[in-house]
Amino acid sequence: MVKIYIDSGHGGSDPGAVGNGLKEKNLTLQISTRIKEILSKEYQDVSIKMSRTGDTYPSLSDRTNQANAWGADFFLSIHINSGGGTGFESYIYPSSGTPATTYQSAIHSEVMKLVNFTDRGKKTANFHVLRKSTMPALLTENGFIDSSSDASKLKTTSFIEALARGHVNGLVKAFALKKVQEHENIEEKTFHTVVKGDTFYSIAKDYDTTVARLEVLNSTIDPTALPIGKKLIVHVIETIYYIVKKGDTVSALAEEYGSSINQIKAWNNLDSNYTIQIGKRLRVK
Ligand SMILES: [Zn+2]
């Protein structure tokens, strides 16, 4: 499980930068919220905590203390720039080294791929959230609120979406996140190499299966003349993984996949209440 702390810059009594009818605190919350939504919906084994989900002002220490106490793997702080410039830039703490530099490169380049912004480069700064977070941390400045051309982009939903998607794509690269797949079937085969004197009957006995099953699995082979050295399939074990959706129960899944409730409990180390969380990847067969 990768734990990502997403910090929406400013909030509440602190609007951050203001210009062209926009407030930084609202934009940072919009971008952060979309990053969280996309990650939670589309990627597995990722847990997200937000510094705020509404128009409130956690102090800078509140934010880093919370991320540190939670044991986040990454701290991502979203901001909007001001002061007479244009474009996108990202910051890590000075002399951070890897993996912070790797994460910065991944996120910076993925954002730049999706948005039509001037690239102001990968930078370092002694910001509180970068200095006081105990995990690798990145702060992005997503355009200048006092630039009319940046501001007009930031006013469109599609641009906010592209910024969020760029951050997500970078996080996916940095942490090798995997897409949620509702079903994942894995087939594991066991083989036997034919030696002189083998028959389907003798092989079935050795591998605890049946002649009928061997015939099905090796339908192209003439059972009356087994070719010596040929690899026969003797067992196929099908494993199915399933991503838990709202309303799922272990008993319903057991019935659907022809497994027992106790098998599903054992495969997934479930507690005695058979608790399953939405988004969890369960082995169901
Ligand atoms: Zn800011």
Cα(10) to ligand 1 centroid in Å equals 6
Cα(127) to ligand 1 centroid in Å equals 11
pLDDT confidence of residue 180: 77
Q: Which protein residues have a CB closer than 5 Å to ligand 1 (ion)?
A: 9, 16, 79
pLDDT confidence of residue 26: 98
Q: What is the pLDDT of residues 149-162, one digit of tens each?
A: 999 999 999 999 99
Region 101-110 average pLDDT? 98
pLDDT confidence of residue 280: 81
What is d(CA 23, CA 98) in angstroms, rounded to the nearest whole number?
A: 34
Question: Six-digit token pair at 265?
Answer: 């409990």
Q: What is the pLDDT of residues 248-279, one digit of tens each?
A: 999 999 999 899 999 999 999 999 989 898 77
What is d(CA 263, CA 53) in angstroms, rounded to the nearest whole number?
A: 39
Residues carrying an active site annotation: 141
Neighbours of 72 (CB within 10 A): 24
Place of tokens 């009818």: 21
pLDDT confidence of residue 246: 81
Between 182 and 1, the more confident residue is: 1
For a pLDDT cut of 90, what percent of the chain falls above it?
Answer: 85
pLDDT confidence of residue 57: 97
Buried b (16+ CB within 10 A) or exposed e, 149-166: ebbebbeeeebbebbbbb
Of 167, 135, 131, 195, the closest CA to residue 37 belongs to 167
Q: What angle do the packed helices 157-175 and 24-42 form, to 10 degrees?
A: 50
Q: Is the pLDDT of residue 2 over 90?
A: yes
Residue 92 binned pLDDT confidence (cut-offs 50, 70, 90): very high
- The answer to whether 51 touches 40, Cβ cutoff 8 Å, is no
Arithmetic mean of pLDDT over the chain: 95
Cα(33) to ligand 1 centroid in Å equals 16
Neighbours of 89 (CB within 10 A): 21
pLDDT confidence of residue 243: 85
99 Cβ neighbours under 8 A, 6+ residues apart = 136, 174
Cα(79) to ligand 1 centroid in Å equals 4
Residue 56 binned pLDDT confidence (cut-offs 50, 70, 90): very high
What is d(CA 37, CA 46) in angstroms, rounded to the nearest whole number?
A: 12
For a pLDDT cut of 70, what percent of the chain falls above it?
Answer: 100
What is d(CA 249, CA 274) in angstroms, rounded to the nearest whole number?
A: 8
Q: What is the pLDDT of residues 15-43, one digit of tens each?
A: 999 999 999 999 999 999 999 999 988 89
Cα(278) to ligand 1 centroid in Å equals 34
How long, in residues, is the chain?
285
- Domains defined for the chain, CATH in brackets: 2-178 (3.40.630.40), 188-237 (3.10.350.10), 244-285 (3.10.350.10)
Cα(76) to ligand 1 centroid in Å equals 13
- Helix/strand/coil (H, E, C) string of the chain? CEEEEEEECCECCECCCEECCEEHHHHHHHHHHHHHHHHHHHEECEEEEECCCCCCCCCHHHHHHHHHHHCCCEEEEEEEECCCCCCEEEEECCCCCCCHHHHHHHHHHHHHHHCCCCEEEEEECCCHHHHCCCCCEEEEEEEECCCHHHHHHHCCHHHHHHHHHHHHHHHHHHHCCEECCCEEEEEEEEEEECCCCCCHHHHHHHCCCCHHHHHHHCCCCCCCCCCCCCEEEEEEEEEEEEECCCCCCHHHHHHHHCCCHHHHHHHCCCCCCCCCCCCCEEECC
Dihedral over alpha carbons 183, 260, 237, 184 (to 10 degrees)? 10
